[in-house]
Amino acid sequence: MQPQPLIDAVLHAVDPAEALKTAWQPPPPGRVWLVAFGKASLPMAHRAVDLLGERLAGGAVIAVPETIGDLPLPDHVRVYPAAHPLPDERSLEAARAVEAVARHAGEGDTLLVLVSGGGSAHLACPVEPLTLPDIRHVTQALMRAGAPIEALNTVRKHCEVLKGGGLARAAVPAHILTLILSDVIGDRLDMIASGPTVRDTTTAAQALHLLDEYGLHEAVPAVTAYLESVEEAPLLDFPPVEHRIIANNVTAIEAARHAAEQQGYSVVGQHEAVTGEARDIGATLAAQAKALAPGECVVLGGETTVTVRGEGQGGPLQEMALAAALALAGEPDLRVVCFATDGIDGPTDAAGAVVEGETAARIRAAGVDPVVALDRSDSHTALDAAGALLRTGPTGTNVNDVVVAARARPSV
């Protein structure tokens, strides 16, 4: 199983500009204001600008800093850099610019909202009296505790202005159209980028309960105090919003399955979303791989989490791959490919890893103990020592992760 054709096929299938063009239906007559945020914001915005032509009144795009300049936009569409996964001062400035564009949209106008993975960090604007450091603190604490995206974004929605429908409320009375490149398994609209144009049905009490569940009640005192002080109000009228999913993890999985078949492999099993602790999924994946016949593979998609246990470097896919490598030891004809479609696995330079039955031995030969590395959440160091890391750089898209396990085809 060659990983590069798989990666190329997946990235082609979830190309944000092409996905937007395919799903495009012109907004109602009138002026259109554009806002975009997330890791695919620039290619989505660039294509939307072409499709809208002179109808475009103005806009604000929040982008990954490294991509700014790759796709020029007209002067009346401002581009703002912002950080991910933890918001910074640039994120705050950018979020305020997006809010200002939404408030410019008036009666008879359309606010076109282009959303992609990473949008939660890009659209950071704390409610008073919380501060940006408070938001960073609670975000980092939940991530280190292994909280899934649903828990993280529930808390975010109650701590920030534009999440949980805040952006839609700012755009009243304009028509609102949201096009989404989904990075949430199951495509829950209220969880993608923390649902900026979706009516929020969660409560501050639920957010507080999540802090308790992950043992963070005292670790994030400012957020805890704020959530305890909130008086729950009845759900108010919410503006109508049209939402369309233009690509998602299923799109990526289908492309990977087809690419595997093009390499002569038989794909077994159905679509399966993998969620949970990355190291546990890695061990399970290795067991699935061992059960494969020659020339068979499994293709999975999803998003896993890591409960950080040390001060090492890594990401969910690298931790999954390292756990799989340990379980695959001595199986020379098995290979596992773990790939983050955004090209970024955790706070590292890797997009994932490719591991085989010999990978653990190569790690040890390089002077690194893979078991200790896994226990220290230092998967990056171990996999790098074995030359097993995938490095693509930011891809400009994000529909979660794709994982393929294969047993080599019989020799002819």
**d(Cα 81, Cα 153) in Å, to the nearest integer?**
21
How far is Cα 273 from Cα 250, in angstroms, rounded to an integer?
Answer: 9
- Distance CA(207)–CA(204), nearest Å, equals 5
Q: How far apart are CA 155 and CA 26, in angstroms?
A: 35
Residue 187 to residues 150, 180, 333, 406, Cα–Cα distance (Å) = 11, 9, 36, 28
Per-residue model confidence as pLDDT tens digits over 171-201? 999 999 999 999 999 999 999 999 999 999 9
CATH among 3.40.50.2300, 1.10.150.120, 3.40.1480.10, 2.60.40.420 for 250-407: 3.40.1480.10
* Strand segments (E) across 8-67: 32-37, 56-63
- pLDDT tens-place string over residues 23-78: 999 999 999 999 999 999 999 999 999 999 999 999 999 998 888 888 899 999 99
Q: What CATH topology corresponds to 15-247?
A: Rossmann fold (3.40.50)
Taking residues 277-306, report their average pLDDT: 96
- What's the token pair of residue 325? 């490598």
- Domain borders along the chain are 15-247, 250-407
Sort 273 into a burial class: Cβ within 10 Å, 0-12 / 13-18 / 19+: middle
Select from 187, 166, 175, 167 the least CA-distant residue to 246.
187
Rounded to whole angstroms, the Cα distance separating 356 from 369 reads: 16
- Looking up tokens 């202005």, which residue turns up? 161
* pLDDT over 90 at 113, yes or no: yes
Enumerate the H helices of 88-161 as residue ranges.
89-104, 119-122, 132-144, 149-157
Q: For residue 412, name the pLDDT band (cuts at 50, 70, 90).
A: low
- Whole-angstrom Cα Rg for the chain: 22
Q: Which two tokens stand for residue 306?
A: 């890591």
Tokens of 324: 């799989």
Q: What is the pLDDT of residues 148-167, one digit of tens each?
A: 999 999 999 999 999 999 99
Greater model confidence, 36 or 1:
36
Residue 235 DSSP code: P
Residues 217-226, mean pLDDT to the nearest whole number: 97
Cβ-based neighbours of 12, under 8 Å, separated by 6 or more: 255
User: What is the full DSSP assignment across 178-215?
Assistant: EEEE--STT--TTTGGG-TTS-----HHHHHHHHHHTT
What are 60's strand-pairing partners?
Answer: 35, 78
Range list of β-strands (E), 38-118:
56-63, 77-81, 110-116
pLDDT, tens digit, for every residue of 365-384?
999 999 999 999 999 999 99
Q: What angle do CA 269, 272, 274 make, to 5 degrees?
A: 135
pLDDT above 80 for 306:
yes
